[in-house]
Amino acid sequence: MPPSDVEAERWVIGSILLKPALLDDLTDLQARDFYDAVNAAIVKEILSLHTQGQPVHIELLKKHLGDDDWVATAREIITATPVSGHIHYYLEIVRNKAGLRRLRDVAENLFIDTQTPKVVAGEALNRSESALSAIRLGHDETDPVTLGEATLQASAHVDKIQQRGQSAGVLTGLLTFDTDMGGLFPGELSILAARPGIGKTSLALQIADHISSKGNLVYFASLEMSAVELSIRLACSKSGVSNRLVRTGRMNDQDNRDLSEAMNKQSHNAFDIHDKASLTITEIRRQIRKRKKHDLTLAIIDYLQLITAEDRRLPREQQVATITKSLKEMAREFEIPILCLCQLNRQAEGEESPKLSHLRESGAVEQDSDMVLFLAPHTPTDSAPNNASLVVAKNRNGEIGPIPLDWHPSETRFTCTEPSSMEWAP
List beta partners, residue 416.
405
Domain borders along the chain are: 6-134, 165-416
Strand 296-302 vs strand 338-343: parallel, antiparallel, or unpaired?
parallel
Neighbours of 88 (CB within 10 A): 13
Alpha helices in 186-334 (DSSP H): 200-212, 227-239, 243-248, 253-266, 281-292, 316-334
Determine if the pTM surpasses 0.85.
no
Of 3.40.50.300, 3.40.630.30, 1.10.540.10, 3.10.20.310, which CATH number belongs to 165-416?
A: 3.40.50.300
Strands (E), 120-262: 189-194, 217-222
Beta bridge partners of 425: 400
Closest CA to 399 of 150, 179, 157: 179
At the topology level of CATH, where does 6-134 sit?
DNAb Helicase; Chain A (1.10.860)
For residue 200, what pLDDT is reported?
87
Positive or negative, the CA dihedral 246, 249, 250, 254 is positive
Chain centre to alpha carbon of residue 147: 27
What is the per-residue pLDDT for 289?
Answer: 86
Contact 170, 184 (CB under 8 A): yes
386 close to 417: Cβ distance less than 8 angstroms: yes
Q: What amino acid occupies position 77? A: I
What is the pLDDT tens value at each position of the chain, 426 positions in all?
889 999 998 899 888 888 888 887 777 788 888 998 888 888 888 888 787 777 777 777 776 666 667 777 778 888 888 888 888 888 889 988 988 988 898 888 888 888 888 777 877 777 777 777 666 544 445 556 676 777 777 777 667 666 655 566 888 888 888 888 888 889 899 989 888 878 888 899 989 989 998 889 999 998 888 888 888 888 888 888 777 777 778 888 888 888 888 888 888 888 888 888 778 888 888 888 888 888 899 999 987 888 887 776 777 777 888 888 888 888 988 889 999 998 887 665 655 577 777 676 657 777 788 888 888 887 777 777 777 888 888 888 878 888 888 888 777 788 876 554 444 443
pLDDT score, position 338: 93
pLDDT at residue 145, rounded to an integer: 66
pLDDT score at 218 = 92
Backbone angles phi, psi at 368, to 5 degrees: -85, -20
